[in-house]
Amino acid sequence: MLYALLCCHDEAVDTSWTKEEDDALLAKRRRVTDPLAAQGKLHASIRLMPTTAATTVRIGREPVVLDGPFAETKEALLGVYLVDCASLEEAIALAQQIGRDENVVFEIRPVRHYRPQANFKEAAV
Amino acid sequence: VTEIAWIDPLLRSARPQAVGALLRYFRDLDQAEEAFQEACLRALKNWPVNGPPRDATSWLILVGRNVALDDVRRRSKSEPLPEDAVVSDLGDAEADIAERLDNSHYRDDVLRLLFICCHPDLPATQQIALALRVVSGLSVKEIARAFLVSEAAMEQRITRAKSRVARADVPFEAPGAVERAERLAAVAAVIYLVFNEGYSASGGTVHVRLPLCEEAIRLARLLLALFPGEPEIIGLTALILLQHARAPARLDDDGDIILLEDQDRALWNRDMIAEGLALIEKAVRHRRPGPYQVQAAIAGVHAHALRPEDTDWAEIDGLYATLERLQPSPVVTLNRAVAVSKLRGPQAALAMIEPLAGPLAGYFHFFGVKGGLLMQLGRAAEARIAFDQAIALAHTPAEAAHIRLHLDRLIKASQPA
């Protein structure tokens, strides 16, 4: 089963990390995700820009375009891991490993449909 | 130590909102700061044991307020002392009820705090120092180091600023729309000052002081999160990000300035550029152009160009023309002249800056640009005079060294081979 691990975090904290703290955190996570990628189980990892870069569009008779994220919650969606796991237990364990020692929340969502586009390469942006 | 490493960013990020709310309670900057400090000490004791509260900021506000109130009671001796444990074991449920922060309240708290620190009555150096101390929570020592002054001098500067804003009597009611816009503009200006202070130090030996730049980015993001639909705040954030993206390429190993066209663009921070460009797109949709947005757009054009020769100078010229209209200033015209020199040659640019000689008589960059243009025109003797004037006006050794480099080239070129 393919799972999306939605990584949610208090954005004020996320943008308060120093570069060193941020680098250390990413390095720590990659110690978990790199082996997964090597096994072919990590399909994608996405890091989103802060919600200050977000735009919300409400589709209706008159579409409304708003600055900022859809919901004004303290915890914002900051990234997504798309991973192959044999079970929910495995996905939970994985989320715990990736987020170890962090004050972070993972929402684990089984993926219903996933169509990778073969012509896309890894992108920094 | 690693076990509580997560607490630090939590306290740091809660600070503006918590101190802002405590300031609303106590109406005194020192008292608000002390209360927050005390709450942080309790958090360091309590959180490693009980885990972080669900809403760390509310927890800190409530604990800070209670501690300060207890302190008042203790001093007045009218009531028996509460057990320390009563306060420090406070559950989050309680904190949630006590201080459910509705967003507008929170917004005005933080804006008020920022505005008090950026009060127009204060000279710029005091504004910056106070904002860094109170809002960012940098230590006096850190700020002193950033400004290359002694700790005692910085302490005094901050104390003076505090007593000055205390006399300024900023109203504590929720501001009206006009007042809010004024506060926003004042705060934005100081955030940009903080960034510039880090970007090109006025005096001292270090030319790029990264902690100040990073702090400015954090403050801009904080302000933007509070006012997500303000195009000028979007523009300010974009501008700072785009300029800071170039920081890794701005100085060589000796700390000398590398001009934009000579920078190794592979060193530019692509993440910051992407975010800055995304923000410009958002701002433009509002169709309410302002100086920060236009300056961000100019930085964006540079960021787009992978090689200097790919730079769209016509676009930059047009943007500077817009900026001249929005915010007429000889410095803007001087910058536009650089774009004009690329488009129509040094002669046209020189003609454009001639009328600026009066207003920019004390401006380092004026003579730098002038010297550069004269050099391109082969007027070496005049270029030399301009460069000498630039060196006399340089604020940092890096600025002076950069001009000296031009002079050396001139001297070499004038010597027979």
One-letter amino acid identity for B264?
A: D
What span, in angstroms and rounded, lies between the C-alpha atoms of B20 and B223?
13
B92 pLDDT band (50/70/90 cuts)? very low
Q: Cβ of A96 under 8 Å from any chain B Cβ?
A: no
Residues of B with Cβ-Cβ distance to A101 under 8 angstroms = 2, 5-6
Q: What percent of chain B has pLDDT over 70?
A: 88
Predicted pLDDT of residue A38: 95
Q: Cβ of B357 under 8 Å from any chain A Cβ?
A: no
Facing residue for A125 by CB, picked from B229, B270, B282: B270
B174 pLDDT band (50/70/90 cuts)? confident
Q: Are B70 and B81 in contact (CB under 8 A)?
A: yes
Mind listing the pLDDT tens digit for each residue in B177-199? 888 888 899 999 999 988 988 77
Predicted pLDDT of residue B170: 79
H/E element, B372: helix B364-376
Nearest-Cα distance to chain B for A51, in Å, is 8
Q: In chain A, which residue's Cα lies nearest the Cα of B280?
A: A53
Alpha carbon of residue B102 to chain centroid: 27
Task: Reduce the DSSP state of residue A65 to 3 states and report it.
Answer: strand
Q: Are B189 and B118 in contact (CB under 8 A)?
A: yes
What span, in angstroms and rounded, lies between the C-alpha atoms of A44 and B300?
29
Q: In chain A, which residue's Cα lies nearest the Cα of B55?
A: A74
Q: In chain A, which residue's Cα lies nearest the Cα of B229?
A: A67
B250 pLDDT band (50/70/90 cuts)? confident
Facing residue for A55 by CB, picked from B103, B237, B282: B282
Task: Reduce the DSSP state of residue B257 to 3 states and report it.
Answer: strand
Query: Are B9 and A50 in contact (CB < 8 Å)?
Result: no
Mind listing the pLDDT tens digit for each residue in B47-67? 988 888 888 899 999 999 998
Q: Are A65 and A55 in contact (CB under 8 A)?
A: yes
Structure tokens at B113: 């705090």
Task: Reduce the DSSP state of residue B348 to 3 states and report it.
Answer: helix
ipTM: 0.84
Q: Are A102 and B10 in contact (CB under 8 A)?
A: no
Over 90: is that where the pLDDT of B91 sits? no
Q: Cβ of B212 under 8 Å from any chain A Cβ?
A: no
H/E element, B208: none
Residues of B with Cβ-Cβ distance to A10 under 8 angstroms = 10, 13, 56
Q: Are B93 and B73 in contact (CB under 8 A)?
A: no
Interface of B with A in 264-283 (CB under 8 A): 270-271, 274-275, 278-279, 282
Q: What percent of chain B has pLDDT over 90?
A: 57
Predicted pLDDT of residue B203: 46
B347 pLDDT band (50/70/90 cuts)? very high
User: Taking all residues of chain A, what is their mean pLDDT, rounded to a whole number?
Assistant: 88
Query: Are B225 and A11 in contact (CB < 8 Å)?
Result: yes
What span, in angstroms and rounded, lies between the C-alpha atoms of B414 and B405?
14
Q: In chain A, which residue's Cα lies nearest the Cα of B278?
A: A53
Residues of B with Cβ-Cβ distance to A17 under 8 angstroms = 9
Mind listing the pLDDT tens digit for each residue in A47-70? 999 999 999 888 878 878 889 888
What span, in angstroms and rounded, lies between the C-alpha atoms of B187 and B184?
5
Considering the entire predicted model, what is its pTM? 0.85
Q: Are B82 and B88 in contact (CB under 8 A)?
A: no
Task: Reduce the DSSP state of residue A66 to 3 states and report it.
Answer: strand
Three-state secondary structure of A12-30: HHHCCCCHHHHHHHHHHHH
Interface of B with A in 23-82 (CB under 8 A): 52, 55-56
Backbone angles phi, psi at B175, to 5 degrees: -75, 155
Residues whose CB falls within 8 Å of the CB of residue B159, separated by 6 or more in sequence, listed in order? none
What span, in angstroms and rounded, lies between the C-alpha atoms of B353 and B363?
13
One-letter amino acid identity for A34?
A: D
Facing residue for B12 by CB, picked from A16, A50, A74: A16
Predicted pLDDT of residue B151: 93
Structure tokens at B369: 């640009």
Facing residue for B13 by CB, picked from A16, A49, A52: A16
Residues of A with Cβ-Cβ distance to B17 under 8 angstroms = 12
Q: Cβ of A12 under 8 Å from any chain B Cβ?
A: yes
Predicted pLDDT of residue B78: 56
